[in-house]
Structure 1
Amino acid sequence: MKIIYDMSIQGATKAGVYVFAKNINEEIIKIDQYPILTYNNPFSTIKQIGIKRKITSLMRLLYLECIAFFGNRNDIFFFPAPEVPFSVIFFKKRFIVTIHDLYAWKNLKETTFFASIKNKLLPIIANKAELICTVSEYSKSEIIKYLNISTDKIFVVHNGLDEVFLDKPKINIEVLKNKRYILNVGSLEPRKNISFLIDLFETIKNQKNYSDLLLVLTGGESWNSNEILNKINNSVYKNDFILLGQVSQNQLPNLYKDAVAMIFPSKEEGFGIPVIESLSQGTPVLVQANSALKDFKEYGAYVMEDFNIDTWLTLITEIEKNKVRISKNNINKVIYDFSWKNSANKLLNELLK
């Protein structure tokens, strides 16, 4: 028996799903005790738009179908994202799938055409899978509730911290040198609630002593970024927005560390990797009390009960005024609890049961 590990997600996104797939795969390979076949998809839709993106998306799906013919009946396919070829299901091959959250499935109108088709198939994929991997207890409860899956079929493997957040050399971003800023890390899409963040930032800028404050946004544009970009361009403070796009891993630690706070007002998250990254660098994080995000309160994150701008404003100004940082105890707790090595070992144990 061998494990057939699907890494084709790297051609579709650089978001949390890809981060999970990449890091788990690298750690499993290091263990080097079990036969693992990893395959990549040569067709990438990253940075593509329009008809070219649609054609490439179709080619990605066809390539996945071809891959499904490989492997013996006893081999196990592991999909770190819910992209499972029809062939795997049709030929009744063994597979374990990772469902990170159900936000896209519950909000089909907020996705692309191809994504909506894939998400409609999620209940079938979940029922046909031998096991389901997910990244938080919150997501597990959602899968049980909405997809009617038994609890013993689902196991949780958390995301982890990249080694660069521990002891590797870090790189500064020159444009932010000696600047005062609040930060958001994530793609520019409706789910991330960037519109609320823009409103919050404008409210902060209207206060005394914040004329030099910047809002730094990282991550790539997504399928519905135009509304967000238009709102930024129409803001009276448009010159105080810094859009960095994709940032390298070596740049992220100091980007977090030098921020006043990391504001992460997502509507829903299966996990929230930027939260643990920011906490690991001692930078306060504000999240809303929804989904898996509320669980980070025990690590020092500020969990807000609603999206009342005045409440968020008061807390951010207090954090800035008092130069609040995350305690060393909470930093160590984050580093200890969220390890890719431990997560890979847990996944491997489930794969080989």
Structure 2
Amino acid sequence: MIWIFIFFMNIGIDIRTLMDARYSGVSLYTLELVQALCRYGSKNNYRLFCNAFRSRDGRPPRFDYPNVSVTDTKYPNKLLNYGYFKIGKRPKLDRLLKTDVFFMPHINFVAFSRGARYVVTVHDLSFLRYPYFFTLRQNLWHRALNVKKLLQHAAAVIAVSEHTKRDVIELCRIPEKKVHVIYSGINERYHPLSAESSEARRVRSAYALPERFMLYLGNIEPRKNIESIIEAYSLYRKKNPQSDVKLVIAGSSAWKHGVVHAVARASGFFADIHFLDYVAEADKTALYSLAELFVFPSFYEGFGFPPLEAAACGTPVITSNVAALPEIAGGFALLIDPHNVAGLSEAINEVLNDKNLQQNMRERGLNHEQKFSWEKCAREVVKVFENLNSIY
């Protein structure tokens, strides 16, 4: 008689970020990774945790897999956190979901029983490295999270880049052997679209996009260095007075967004600078594809989805030579010093005036994005879970 033992784990996952009305990079990471885990880690049971009075606008999304269940405590986050600080009582998630391992796709308030095993993904530690990029309220929030203690007590930490791993080790004093670098993936919906396709025409009309434009897409906040984009664009236009290339700045307005608008008004080219609000995920592929150039001179990124997404759509990319961006985009992007506006302007001028360079950058971008797969990400995350199960 042959005995076959099938080992599986009950894995809890915090999906509270999927209740957000507008998805951030962290929200998309959670959504894509959970879907991939359900597909490629199907021998395990996934017990998803969220909390809200009621679902809205399809939040959280449905996960129609036989190995998935969702627990909703029906308490909004603010009330849950208030209870934690005022009376020290919150549901112990490992007990509530009866998990072998609990996975946090991002840093958040949680409560576990003593000895519970949990794994945390760290996307970046910008709030520790550069607190001046954040409001007082945001800094107080991050302090209340007690990130160092959270990571020190974790059974394992997943860093989305080697750069983030170094920050985790240095800033939080986490042993290197406990930190695993697992790159995020990129959704297959990002691919080049012809400007004549019905989808591209729909998006151009919906957002009143100019015929020719360079693009920034991301939150409008100090860390993203958008003022430098505007100043560099102004220098480019002065050097190329006949150019009809406009500048499109797309993304949600965050802290100090008024400064960005003020710089645009003072640039001398305000009429050629188009501000879009939040762009729906379904529209981003066409937006990237229609742009002649994507510019992303951020001061700090732990990973950086937008340059990858733009490259996957066949759009040349200029990005920063700091933090994780060279690691993620160095194989296809033109790297610049984010503090050097003149250098950024020269790079813009070089790309927009050199068709051969544009084609070379497109080809490198389309080849490079194959390195980032959600299937690969999910399989490596499952290995982290399984290794913990074999240790304990």
| TM-score bucket of the superposed structures, by smaller chain | 0.7 to 0.9
More off after superposition, 5-14 vs 157-166 = 5-14
Aligned mates of 1:115, 1:273 — CA distance in 2 = 22
Distance 1:109 1:300, change over 3 A: closer
Q: What whole-Å deviation, never above 9, does each CA across 1:197-244 have from its counterpart, x for those lacking one? A: 121122223233355332111221123323223333444322222222
Aligned pair 1:37/2:27, yes or no? no
Aligned pair 1:312/2:335, yes or no? no
Q: Specify the SS of the correspondent of 1:299.
A: coil
Q: Which residue of 1 aligns with 2:133?
A: 110
Matches within 5 A, 1:93-132: 93-120=116-143, 121-132=146-157
Distance 1:93 1:340, change over 3 A: same
Per-residue deviation, 1:289: 1.0
Contact 1:76 1:96 in 2 (8 A): yes
Q: Which residue of 2 aligns with 1:335?
A: 369
Matches within 5 A, 1:126-165: 126-165=151-190
Matches within 5 A, 1:198-347: 198-210=230-242, 212-296=244-328, 298-305=330-337, 307-323=339-355, 324-327=358-361, 329-347=363-381
Distance 1:59 1:111, change over 3 A: farther
Aligned-pair RMSD on alpha carbons?
A: 2.8
Per-residue deviation, 1:11: 3.6
Distance 1:81 1:63, change over 3 A: farther
Aligned mates of 1:326, 1:60 — CA distance in 2 = 52
Aligned pair 1:59/2:67, yes or no? no
Contact 1:299 1:330 in 2 (8 A): yes
Q: Specify the SS of the correspondent of 2:107.
A: coil
Q: Specify the SS of the correspondent of 1:22.
A: helix
Aligned mates of 2:178, 2:242 — CA distance in 1 = 51
More off after superposition, 220-229 vs 106-115 = 106-115
Contact 1:81 1:99 in 2 (8 A): yes
Q: What whole-Å deviation, never above 9, does each CA across 1:125-166 have from its counterpart, x for those lacking one? A: 110111001110110011111211111101112121112114
Contact 1:283 1:326 in 2 (8 A): no
> Equivalent of 1:71, from 97, 109, 134?
97
Aligned pair 1:6/2:14, yes or no? yes
Contact 2:148 2:172 in 1 (8 A): yes
Any gaps of 5 or more consecutive residues in structure 1? 47-55
Any gaps of 5 or more consecutive residues in structure 2? 1-8, 57-75, 85-89, 388-392
Aligned mates of 2:92, 2:281 — CA distance in 1 = 31
Q: Specify the SS of the correspondent of 1:173.
A: helix
Aligned mates of 1:197, 1:333 — CA distance in 2 = 27
Aligned residues: 341
Aligned mates of 2:138, 2:210 — CA distance in 1 = 41
Distance 1:109 1:30, change over 3 A: same
Per-residue deviation, 1:254: 2.4
Distance 1:333 1:167, change over 3 A: closer
Q: Specify the SS of the correspondent of 2:91.
A: helix
Q: What whole-Å deviation, never above 9, does each CA across 1:79-100 have from its counterpart, x for those lacking one? A: 1111141x22x63422111111
Q: What whole-Å deviation, never above 9, does each CA across 1:298-326 have from its counterpart, x for those lacking one? A: 42211114532222222211211123134
Per-residue deviation, 1:60: 5.8
TM-score scaled to structure 1, two decimals?
Answer: 0.87
Aligned mates of 2:135, 2:353 — CA distance in 1 = 42
Q: What whole-Å deviation, never above 9, does each CA across 1:61-86 have from its counterpart, x for those lacking one? A: 359943625133x521111111141x
More off after superposition, 170-179 vs 222-231 = 170-179
Per-residue deviation, 1:103: 0.6
Q: Which has the larger radius of gyration?
A: 2
Percent of residue pairs identical: 22
Counterpart amino acid of residue 351 in structure 1: F
Q: Which residue of 2 aligns with 1:23?
A: 32
Q: Specify the SS of the correspondent of 2:247.
A: strand
TM-score scaled to structure 2, two decimals?
Answer: 0.79
